[in-house]
Structures are given as structure tokens and as C-alpha cells.
Amino acid sequence: MTRERRWIVLDEDGCHVTLGRHSDPTEAEIGEAAEALRRSGTGGWLAVTEGVYYQPRDTISLMMVRELAPGSASWDEAVAAFQRRRWETLT
């Protein structure tokens, strides 16, 4: 099975949106995502995931690329929330 790589914006409560799967996001796309986070008052990060999201036995790894907007949660807390949300989606 091929492991997918995706560029995502991860917010502090574990929610995420995909910015790119087959290509790198542009600086304009990253800037728009950062602005949307700031407007909503939510912290978040640009990250890369590796793994198959909808494959329960596959572990998804996340690598922080950079912070896009400061928030109240840490990167580790956001990753843990992402993993909890993923597990809840799959079960």
C-alpha cells in the first residue's frame, strides 16, 4: 500500500484541511489559510501528513512545517486531538 503525503493546515483542536496532495501549496494559499486562522482566533500550523487517513491500521504521522497563527494549544496537543478525531471517524 502506498502511503499518502498531504499538506494540511492543522488547527489547535485537531481539525484540518488539505492544501495539497499532488503538489506543494503556493505561498498565496498558505497566506490565505493563515489569515483565516487569525480571523477566527484559532491557532494552527502548516504540516505534512504521511499515511492513509481512512485505513484504520495505518498510523498517520504529522510533521510540523511552521506555525501559521498563534493559539492557546501546543503542537503536541493539536496532534493528539487530530489522532483522536481520526480514530473517532474510523470507529
Domain that holds residue 38: 5-90
pLDDT tens per residue across span 1-39? 567 899 999 999 999 999 988 889 999 999 999 999 999
Radius of gyration of the chain (CA): 13
Structural domains counted in the chain: 1
C-alpha cell at 44: 494552527
The whole-model pTM stands at 0.90
Give mean pLDDT, residues 57-76.
95
Cβ neighbors of 58 (< 8 A, separation 6 or more) are 1, 3, 51, 52
Give mean pLDDT, residues 48-63.
90
Closest among 15, 16, 14 to 6, alpha carbons compared? 16
Query: In the prediction, which pLDDT does 53 show?
Result: 86
Closest among 41, 48, 56 to 24, alpha carbons compared? 48
